[in-house]
Structure 1
Amino acid sequence: MSTIIITPAQFPRDREVVATLFAAYAESLNIDLSFQSFADELSRLPGKYAAEKGGTLFLAHGSNTSPANIIGCVAVRAFSSPKTCELKRLYIVPEARGMGAAQRLMDAAIEKARELNYDYMLLDTLASMTAARKLYVRYGFEEVDKYYDNPIEGTVFMRAALKDVHSESATLSSA
């Protein structure tokens, strides 16, 4: 496995690279994210992912921490329910997929959510994103009812109790 380094995003230094990764993520979905006020989210980074708002954002670097080597990201934000956060924007650039970066980002996000005293983590994904859904299931996420108004057909809503998530037991698969 290649060396993957995970670091917290630093603002304002990492604003441009995070915005670029988020935009690539949105483009890869091939859906309109305007219902999530996506353009506003990009313009206000770190916004809802800021530490003072109960959030965090991590970057994955391949082999070293130079900005040119950033290969992915993940964000966590506070959710309206008490002790609950939401995982957002897990994205790995296509050429770096299969190297373990998504697992490392998930580990960092879950560890930080626990440090922030969250008990539950929510996420939404698309039914078509089978590799992502398999990863989430390995981390203990289970499908739940729709938890916010999302007009995208095929959206899958998931939740995990963080006390039940064991990062070290989540194994990579070659699928």
Structure 2
Amino acid sequence: MERKTVTMDSANRARSQVIHIREAEFPGDMAAVLDIWREYVASPSVSLEYQDNESEFAVLPGKYEAPEGRIFLAEIEGRLAGCVAFRREDNAICEMKRLYVRPFARGTGMGRKLVTAAIDAARAAGYAEMRLDVLAEFEAAQQLYASFGFGDADPISENPTPGARFLGLALT
């Protein structure tokens, strides 16, 4: 009888592993946050230079520092695989930023777990609404946000990219 060897690609392995979501700690997680955020910034087909990311990165955690904001990291078997953050816009509204799942972990439910962590923490921080913007090319992210009840909202940050959508979710 012939024996076949089956190898699983990294995405299949990731789907079978436990996802661990945790709040980033500074300064210990600085390198990890910068690594995945720079990967996130490079991921769209359009430039995000208008955001002046390097200035924001230079002062992390900055606007994302608790109690007004948070940065969450997702890991699979100790390997950094995703992130999300939120920051204060005003007393009632926060903005979700930088939802990103690395390619090897896509399809694992990690995006949903990251969004849940951000929403839960924003509610606990007392925000009444969460807003975000999303590029047209990120269709899976748009579907994910819709599944949580995000709907069209007024912009709270600049995004000159054609087709960008501005979404909001009531937290109370």
TM superposition score category, shorter chain reference: 0.7 to 0.9
Q: Please say which of residues 116-125 and 33-42 is displaced more in the overlay.
A: 33-42
**Cα deviation, residue 148, structure 1:** 3.1
Output the CA distance in 2 between the equivalents of 1:43 and 1:148.
20
SS of aligned partner of 1:21: helix
Describe the superposition over 1:123-149 as per-residue Cα deviations: whole angstroms up to 9, x where unpaired.
000111110000000001001233333
Map of 2:124 onto structure 1: 115
Which one-letter code corresponds to 2:40 in the other structure? Answer: Y
Describe the superposition over 1:73-117 as per-residue Cα deviations: whole angstroms up to 9, x where unpaired.
00010013x310000000011111001111111111111001100
Map of 2:138 onto structure 1: 129
Contact 2:131/2:153, CA 8 A, preserved across alignment: no
Any unmatched runs of 5+ in structure 1? 164-175
Map of 1:10 onto structure 2: 25
SS of aligned partner of 2:158: coil
**Cα deviation, residue 150, structure 1:** 2.0
TM-score by length of 2: 0.87
Map of 1:58 onto structure 2: 72
Output the CA distance in 2 between the equivalents of 1:71 and 1:45.
20
Map of 1:166 onto structure 2: none
SS of aligned partner of 2:159: coil
SS of aligned partner of 1:152: coil
Q: Percent identity?
A: 40
Equivalent position to 1:71, from 52, 58, 81: 81
Matches within 5 A, 1:29-68: 29-52=44-67, 54-63=68-77, 66=78
Any unmatched runs of 5+ in structure 2? 1-15
Q: CA RMSD in A?
A: 1.3
TM-score by length of 1: 0.85
Output the CA distance in 1 between the equivalents of 2:96 and 2:158.
16
SS of aligned partner of 1:32: coil
Output the CA distance in 1 between the equivalents of 2:108 and 2:151.
25
Q: Does residue 19 in structure 1 map to residue 42 in structure 2?
A: no
- Which has the greater radius of gyration? 2
**Cα deviation, residue 154, structure 1:** 1.2
Map of 1:154 onto structure 2: 163
**Cα deviation, residue 45, structure 1:** 1.2
Matches within 5 A, 1:82-121: 82-121=91-130
SS of aligned partner of 2:43: helix
Contact 2:136/2:165, CA 8 A, preserved across alignment: yes
**Cα deviation, residue 30, structure 1:** 3.0
Contact 2:96/2:130, CA 8 A, preserved across alignment: yes
Which one-letter code corresponds to 1:41 in the other structure? Answer: E
Which one-letter code corresponds to 1:72 in the other structure? Answer: G
The number of residues matched between the two structures is 157
